[in-house]
Copies of this chain bind each other. A is one copy, B any other.
Amino acid sequence: MVTIDDVAKRAGLSKSTVSRVINDYPHVSIKKKEKVFEAMKELGYVPNSSARSLRNKKTQMIAVLVPRIMNPFFGQLAESMEIQAAKHGYQLLICQTMYSKETELKHLELLKMRQVDGMILTSIENEWDVVKEYLSYGPMILCNEFEEEATIPTVKFDQIHGGYVATKHLIRQGHKKIAYCTGGQKSNVGQHRRRGFNLALQEYHLSFDERYGFYDAFSIEDGIRIFKHIHQMPDPPTAVFTGSDEVAAGIITGAKEYGVSVPEALAVIGFDNQVITKLMDPKISTVEQPIPFLAKRAVEVMVDRISHKGNDQEVYEYPLELIIRESTVSPIRAVE
Q: Is A46 an interface residue (CB 8 A)?
A: yes
Q: Which parts of A112-166 form the interface with B (CB within 8 Å)?
A: 112-115
| Interface-facing stretch out of A76-84, A167-175, A200-208 | A76-84
- Cα distance A279–B50 in the bound complex, in angstroms: 47
Known: A69-B78, A70-B79, A91-B93. A275 touches B220 (CB 8 A): yes
Residues of B within 8 A of A279 (CB): 220, 249, 253, 276, 279-280
| A44 (CB) vs chain B CBs: closest residue | B112
Residues of B within 8 A of A281 (CB): 256, 281
- Cα distance A96–B70 in the bound complex, in angstroms: 15
Known: A82-B96, A279-B253. A70 touches B75 (CB 8 A): yes
Please give the number of chain A residues whose Cβ is less than 8 angstroms from any Cβ of chain B in the complex.
42
Q: Is A54 an interface residue (CB 8 A)?
A: yes
| Interface 0/1 of A290-324, CB less than 8 Å to B | 00000000000000000000000000000000000
Residues of B within 8 A of A59 (CB): 49-50
**A47 in complex: contacting residue of B1, B75, B113, CB < 8 Å:** B113
Q: Is A216 an interface residue (CB 8 A)?
A: no
- CB atoms of B69 and A75 under 8 A apart: yes
Known: A93-B93, A279-B280. A49 touches B115 (CB 8 A): yes
- Cα distance A280–B253 in the bound complex, in angstroms: 9
Q: Is A332 an interface residue (CB 8 A)?
A: no
- Cα distance A141–B66 in the bound complex, in angstroms: 27
| A-to-B contact residues, CB < 8 Å | 1, 44, 46-51, 53-54, 59, 68-70, 72, 75-76, 78-79, 82-83, 91-94, 96, 98, 109, 112-115, 220, 249, 253, 256, 275-276, 278-281
